[in-house]
Chain A
Amino acid sequence: MTDGAPSVGFFSRLANPGHFLAWSRYAIAPLAVAAALLVAIGLWLALLGSPEDYQMGSTVRIMYVHVPNAWLAQLCYGVMALAALGTLVWRHPLADVTAKAAAPLGAAFTAIALMTGSLWGRPTWGTFWEWDGRMTSTLVLLFIYLGIIVLWRTFEDQARAGRVIAVFTLVGAVNIPIIKFSVDWWNTLHQPASVFRAGGPTMPASILAPLLTMTAAFTVLFAVLQIVSMRTEILRRRADSMQRRHASELSARPA
């Protein structure tokens, strides 16, 4: 941009709220079908097509719901952190919408990860909860999500809320590497990374297949819910601005 005129690139056009509403409509149905198919295949593999673990027995099947949700708990935060940069650096209206839509989804996936982890911990470790690095940092993540949701609801002016929350989100992002590396940094009950690690996964294909299928299923489900929530948020802002304008027109009218 040498002449100072804004160049409307491909991505800017995709990200314009009006254009987003137009193209995202066609993404919902195929993604929803893909999510449903992947969940069906994943559940079949997880419950019928995979063997028991020689140490953990049938409780290994809890992993197929626990790990995808734990992954999404962090992916959602990654989406919010990128959106926060979009808000602060480019002041893009769709960045605010992305961040606001992702927060409740992230909170839900984090809560599921904590609950299923707890139900897995009892038979394998003998305790529902332990204040160790992985569990405590994940609980902190849930509180950060809840704090962000409350902040969105506190501010009347959503543009201002977007900037404040973007800063808060980026500060909170420090928790994500803490969650990731907590199992290496501190003595913990939680096992270290076993899928994405140098030297390849440590588990056999019969256990890796349902795990990756369920992870893909939950990731596509998140994509659908994120797109639908973003569309809803755009409509909410439209309705809000129509209502405000209508109210100011009424008050400007002579009595």
Chain B
Amino acid sequence: MIDLGEHWAFVVSAYAVATVAVAALIGWVVADARRQRARLAELEAKGIRRRSGGPWA
């Protein structure tokens, strides 16, 4: 077991805060990516086509 000494609560809290925040960030990025892919698939399923050309083609 790691001995974190008298200030163990601060060390554990810092790692916990960083872990939760990074996990939330990754989760949000992945969820947003899935949402946009699903939205595009839905639009294409409705028969709405992409315009050829244009900056986002």
Q: Which residue numbers of A lie inside 8 Å of B, CB to CB?
A: 17-18, 47-48, 52, 57-59, 61-62, 65-66, 69, 93, 104-105, 108, 111-112, 115-116, 119-120, 122-123, 221, 225, 228-229, 231-232, 234-239, 241-243, 245-246
Contacts and interface: CB of A to CB of B under 8 A. Distances in A.
Interface of B: 2-8, 10-11, 13-15, 17-18, 21-22, 24-26, 28-30, 32-33, 36-37, 39-40, 43, 48-51, 54-57
A58 B7 contact: yes
Contacts of B37: 235
B4 to A, nearest CB: 4
B55 A93 contact: yes
B6 to A, nearest CB: 7
Q: Which 8 A-B pairs have the closest CB atoms?
A: A235-B36, A123-B7, A58-B5, A93-B55, A65-B18, A119-B14, A62-B14, A58-B4
Contacts, number: 107
Contact of B4 (A61, A105, A221, A232): A61
A238 B8 contact: no
- Interface centre among A58, A66, A120, by most chain B C-beta atoms within 10 angstroms, is A58
A239 B21 contact: no
B7 A65 contact: no
Contact of A111 (B21, B33, B48): B21
15 contacts: A57-B5, A58-B7, A225-B25, A225-B26, A228-B29, A228-B33, A235-B36, A236-B39, A239-B36, A239-B39, A241-B54, A242-B40, A242-B49, A245-B48, A246-B43
